[in-house]
Amino acid sequence: MNKKILTHRDSGWRGQRHWTSHVLIPPENDLSASGASCVGSTTFLLMGANVPMKRPSNVGSSVVGLLLMTSIVLTLACGAGNSQIRLLNASPGEPALTASVGGTAMGTTVNYGTASSYVSVTSGSATLGVEAAGTTSLLINESITLSSGTYYTVLAGNYSSSINATILTDDNTTPTSGNVSIRIVNASPALGTADVYVLAPGSSLSSASATVSSLNFESASSY
């Protein structure tokens, strides 16, 4: 079982508590560097974040990622019959992706470890297409169903040879004062099942209980 530790400190952002400090503890047999990347309301915890992006030939050459998603106040408006959707590039073999839903582009180029802004699309059944940036060959081409007034994240994950889309329904409801809504997604194809601990700085795992237990690859915790 792999264990990941996330730490936090308080900060006065819009009167809410939000995650500002992260520590990722890799397994003992993983000597790659660690790093964190923040994009808007999403924080990516990446192992080997400084490894050049290339198509891996085996698991040992992969970049391992764990995704931490937080909920904050968003000012986007959902019109009647529309949904809000964004693309998150979590495929370690794809340095940059582009995507569209029903012919509407989801931003421009989305680099590995980053997410696009939300775009408004017509709700209902639509075709999702994801390509490597600069190409016209579809890596993902599938039909998805979107509910009106709902926010979604399309997580493009796994290695290039097995890249697929995981559709996550986002809850962007404002948390109560002094709190944060948090969801953890295991986006690492090489990590396996993980226990995740959200602890105060300096805390020990010896007497701590996992905040999220046995989180499988491409699975998301509740908020």
The domain locations on the chain are: 1-73+172-223, 74-170
Where residue 73 falls among pLDDT bands split at 50, 70, 90? very low
Residue 197 has pLDDT above 50, yes or no: yes
Q: What is the pLDDT of residue 101?
A: 97
**What are the angstrom distances between the C-alpha of 42 and each of 36, 142, 146, 154?**
11, 25, 21, 13
Where residue 205 falls among pLDDT bands split at 50, 70, 90? confident
What residues contact residue 124 under an 8 Å CB cut-off, 6+ apart?
145, 146
| Cα 194 to Cα 217: distance, rounded to the nearest angstrom | 8
Q: What is the pLDDT of residue 184?
A: 92
Q: Give the chain's mean pLDDT.
A: 74
Residue 18 has pLDDT above 60, yes or no: no
The arithmetic mean of pLDDT across residues 83-112, rounded, is 95
* CA–CA–CA angle 170, 105, 103 (5° rounding): 105
Where residue 108 falls among pLDDT bands split at 50, 70, 90? confident
β-pairing, 2-7 with 194-199? parallel
Residue 157, helix vs strand vs coil: strand
**How far does Cα 186 stand from its chain's mean position?**
8
Where residue 4 falls among pLDDT bands split at 50, 70, 90? low
28-44: pLDDT as tens digits? 333 333 333 443 333 34
Classified by CATH at the fold level, domain 74-170 comes out as Immunoglobulin-like (2.60.40)
| Cα 137 to Cα 178: distance, rounded to the nearest angstrom | 46
